[in-house]
Chains A and B, each alone.
Chain A
Amino acid sequence: MKTLVVDDSRLARSAVIKTLNKELGNENEIYQAENGEVALSLYKKENPDIVFLDLTMPVMDGFEALKKIRAHDEKALIVVVSADVQEHAVSQVMSDGAIMHVQKPINETKMKEIFKTVKFLLKAGSHG
Chain B
Amino acid sequence: MDSNIEFNEDHKEVLRELMNVAYGSSTAVIAEILDAFATLRVPKIELFNDEELRKYLLDRVDQDKDAFLCIQGINGKVAGESIFVLNRSSVENLALYFDLDEEASEEDLKDVATELTNILSSSTVGKLAEQVNSSVSFSPPSVSIVNGLSMGDDLKMKNYSQAIVICTSIEFEKEKIHGDLILFMQDQSIVWLKAALDKIISEYL
Contact = CB atoms under 8 A, between A and B. Distances in A.
B63 interface: no
A9 B13 contact: yes
A86 B21 contact: no
B157 to A, nearest CB: 28
Contact of B28 (A8, A10, A11, A86): A86
Given A14-B204, A86-B27, A56 B40 contact: yes
Contacts of B37: 86, 88-89
Interface in B10-51: 13-14, 16-17, 20-25, 27-28, 31-32, 37-38, 40-42
B42 A8 contact: yes
Contacts of A18: 204
Given A9-B13, A57-B42, A58-B42, A85 B25 contact: yes
A70 interface: no
A105 B22 CA distance: 10
A11, A84, A103, A105, most chain B CB atoms within 10 A: A11
B32 A87 contact: yes
Contacts of A11: 13-14, 17, 200, 204-205
Interface of B is mostly: helix
Contacts, number: 60
A55 B24 CA distance: 11
B20 A9 contact: yes
- A-B complex: 10 closest residue pairs judged by Cβ atoms: A83-B24, A9-B17, A88-B37, A14-B204, A83-B21, A86-B31, A85-B28, A11-B17, A56-B40, A86-B28
Given A84-B28, A87-B28, A87-B32, 17 more contacts: A9-B13, A10-B13, A11-B13, A11-B200, A11-B204, A14-B205, A18-B204, A55-B40, A56-B24, A56-B42, A83-B25, A84-B40, A85-B25, A87-B31, A88-B31, A89-B37, A103-B25
Interface of B: 13-14, 16-17, 20-25, 27-28, 31-32, 37-38, 40-42, 131, 200, 204-205
